[in-house]
Structure formats: structure tokens, C-alpha cells
Amino acid sequence: MYGNMKPVVAGTLSKNSSLAVLANVIKGTGSSNAWWRSIAEQNPPDHVSCQILQRLLGDRPLGNVAFRLWNGQSWPQEAGERAATVVLTRPSSLREMLLPGSETGIGEAYLDSAFEVEGDFEAAFELADRIMEISNGWTRKLDVGRLLNQLPPPPAPPAKIDNRARLDGNHHSLERDRKAVNFHYDVSNDFYALWLGRQMAYSCAYFQNPEDDLETAQENKFEHICRKLSLRPGDRFLDIGCGWGGLIIHAARNYGIQAEGITLSPEQLRYARERIEEAGLSGRVSVRLQDYRELPEEPAFDAVASVGMVEHVGRKNLPVYFRKILSLLKPGGLFLNHGIGSGPVGLPGKSGSFIQDYVFPDSELIPIGEMNRFAEEQSWEVRDVENLRLHYAQTLRHWIGRLEMRRQEALRFVNDRTYRIWRLYMAGCAHNFQTGRLAIYQTLLAKFDAKGLSRAPVVRDNWYWGRIGPANLRGIEARE
């Protein structure tokens, strides 16, 4: 699959947030080092930093987040035990975080170690939420701007490793989409393996029980998809954006089908082929390097899945996407479209550029209503829509915990800035799924046959109960 976590931190660190607006008001009024040194004698940076925090947050203390300054001083002083501690690592920290006036500026301050987060990184996003609630009154903004300019400028940075995506060509052209996918997925299979788990499944898991471990929940997800597609022995199944091959291996092993996968990542292709051979499925499962737009328009498949890929398609290409997949299915066939959209709360403001620059260049989130309208305009029938957002929040917590626990191993495969990008990104994802800013939708679409029918079931019972494999189609098993 191409990916399943898109521009989601942007909503929490929006360029339209009060914090960013505040910084835009005061940017351009910076001070020289000499001016600051004279001010610092009268207003030590630790005092100024505490004043800024008091002005921004003092009227309503945060419940989950405390601050610790570079000199060990805490704010608020009586903070007590909190889920997360934001550590300002140097006198210029708040200036680096707020003065750029953008989501990217805050993210880059973390990448540059201007602040650290100890404890629950997801809980620390309470701070960003509070900033967005703060009044936009001119008095407060100008007052905080004045204080920010009393902090010292940041230290001269060392030579930086440039982690930004720098793509050329037309948006969502074949060549540019390949570059975008390669930027994200060809980082290191070893890095992903540290935290994705045994199945190397980079999409929302499915927790049938709260105590399910990640491996169990990912197997549940594969099975959930196979049941929705009503797979049967002898079917021909296509996975568009197949990632490291987990879904097609599960489907072939448990449903007796012929499975094909396509990806744009050479690293994923190599890994998936190795797994298929190790599983003894080379005769029934194949993967190739191919864009969905390059597939021949022949009704060759009984079922198609696209898991975490549609976010890379782009709004302008959605008609092509749905039309192409319709042409690949036999009459009566089913298509499961699994992708992120905005949740009931929605993302405030416009998406910023941190995710575009550092994580998923050119990705787009399309609301579910608009997504399904595009599908219906290409003659698809929408049979079912399921929102798995709380499953994704839990998946992300597993990923974050594994990444943090294996940080030293991760640094063997990626640099520290890449590690920080992923820790920040996934914590923001978990927060936005948990709070309803984002949702993850599985939409089951059907292609009519000549009688207006499809293989989609009339009831959903067999999707949720029963054994793995096609046996579950024969009846519902008792469940405590």
C-alpha cells in the first residue's frame, strides 16, 4: 500500500492557529544579539519564558502537560504528575517554536531539538489544542510578541541533513507520484520492521478485543477485508498499493485464491516477493512495480482492494481512479476502498506544510461524502461504509510505543531527524483520530451485473463472526 496516515498533524498545528497568527504578528520585529544581551541582563530568559507560558496558558492550566526549562525550573511550579512534560532545552526554545508563525516552524523546532517531549507524546497535543482556543485579541498577541523578542536567537545550527521532499513535475503525474511514494517508503525496510510488526502492515489494525496485540489485530484487519469482499476459492484478487504483501499473502493462504499486488516502491516489491517465496505461495501470489493507471482495462478480477492508497490519488484524479478500477472488475465484483478522511470534528484551518514537506508529499484527504460521490458518478454502488478511527488511534499507540522502545536500533537505519519526524507525526495522528478530527473509512463498492446484482451480502453477520477463511460464509458461530 502507498500509505495510510496522511496530513493529520497539520490540523493540530495549523497555520491558522492562534499560536501561528500570534507569531505572524510579531515576525519581522526581531532583535540583534547586542540588543538582546542588554535586555537579558534585566529580564533573564527563564523569567521571560515563564511569562510567555503564563500569558498563553495561565488562565486555564493544562491537565496533561507540564513544562520544564533548560535550568530545571518547572512551569507551573505546582504542576504535579502530568502525562507529558514539554522540555524547553535552551533559552531560545519558545522563540524557535513560535516566531516562524507556521506549523512547519513548530515541527522544525522539535526536529532541531529546541524542545523534547517526555512521557506520552500524544497527551502533549493538548498544548496545541489549547493554543488554538486562545483568544486572538491584539493585546495578548502583541504582549507575547514583545516577550518572544526578549528571548535570545537560536544557536548557530550545525550542518543539517535535509529531510524535506523536493519533487518536481506536474502534481499527480505518473512520474511525480512515483517520486512521492519512493520518498516515503524507500527509507528503510529495517526501520519499518522495528515498529510495524511481523506482518509489516502499514494501515489501521482491527481490535476485536481491547487486549489484542498488534499482530493479532493486523490479522483481524486482513480477515475483515477478505470477508467484506466475499472471497471464495478460485477468485482472482487485486491489491492496489499492496505494501509489503501482508493482505495478499493472508488472502491466498486462507481463501484459496489467486492474488496480485502492485506497488510503486522498489523496497516494498523486493520485500514482498521474498515473503511470498518464503510462504510457498509463488504459484498463486505475485507482485509487480506498477501504477494503477497502467493496468489494462480488462474485467479480469472478482475483487479489488485499495488500502491506504487513495490518499495519494489526488482529487483531480479520483474520476480516473474509480473508472479504472470499475473496468478491472467482473460484473458483480466488489471493491473495498480503505482511506483516511476528515472526521466529525474536522481539521481546523488549512492543512499546513509540515506533512507535505517531511512525510507524505502531495497527499490529499477527501471527505467521505465527496469521495463516494466521485465513486457513484462512475457507476459504483455504495454498499457499506465503516469508520475505524478508534482502531487507528490504538494502532498508532502500538507503533509509537514500539518505535520509542527501539530508538537506538532505529538510529542504526535512519538519522535522528527522521526518528523525530515519525515520533511527532504518529503522535499527532493518534491525537487527531482519538478526538474525531480524522476518520478512517472502509467503503465497500459493488459493480452491478446485468440483473443489478453483485456478490455483496444482504446482511453483514458473516463479516464479524466465524472462523478465518471461506468457511465463515456457511454460518455464524456462537460468541460469548
Residue 359 pLDDT class (50, 70, 90 cuts):
confident
101-144: pLDDT as tens digits: 677 788 899 999 999 999 999 999 988 887 766 645 555 667 78
Task: Flag whether pLDDT at 480 surpasses 60.
Answer: no
| pLDDT greater at residue 198 or residue 173 | 198
- Measured between alpha carbons, how far is 332 from 453 in angstroms, rounded to an integer? 6
When pLDDT is averaged across residues 2-25 and rounded to a whole number, the result is 46
Q: Sheet holding 329-342: strands in order across? A: 285-289, 258-263, 236-240, 301-307, 329-342, 438-446, 381-387
Q: How far is CA 451 from the centre of its chain?
A: 40
Residue 244 bridge partners (DSSP) = none
Query: Is domain 9-148 classified as CATH 3.30.1050?
Result: yes
Task: Flag whether pLDDT at 11 surpasses 70.
Answer: no
Residue 219 pLDDT class (50, 70, 90 cuts):
very high
DSSP label at residue 315: G
Domain boundaries, the chain: 9-148, 174-467
Task: Flag whether pLDDT at 201 surpasses 80.
Answer: yes
When pLDDT is averaged across residues 450-479 and rounded to a whole number, the result is 66
Q: Which residue has the cell 482556543?
A: 133
Residue 40 pLDDT class (50, 70, 90 cuts):
low
CATH number of the domain at 174-467, please? 3.40.50.150
35 to each of 30, 32, 43, 146, 220, how far by Cα in Å?
A: 10, 5, 12, 13, 61
pLDDT at 158: 72
Q: Determine whether 429 is an active site residue.
A: yes
Task: Flag whether pLDDT at 273 surpasses 70.
Answer: yes
Catalytic pick among 50, 204, 242, 429: 429
Identify the CA nearest to 108 among candidates 352, 354, 419, 425. Answer: 354
When pLDDT is averaged across residues 33-59 and rounded to a whole number, the result is 78
47-70: pLDDT as tens digits: 999 999 998 888 787 889 999 999
Residue 172 pLDDT class (50, 70, 90 cuts):
confident
* Cα angle for residues 141, 147, 149 (degrees, 5° grid): 105
When pLDDT is averaged across residues 387-391 and rounded to a whole number, the result is 96
- Work out the angle between the directed axes of helices 18-26 and 126-133 (0-180°, nearest 10): 70
pLDDT at 41: 57
| pLDDT greater at residue 401 or residue 179 | 401
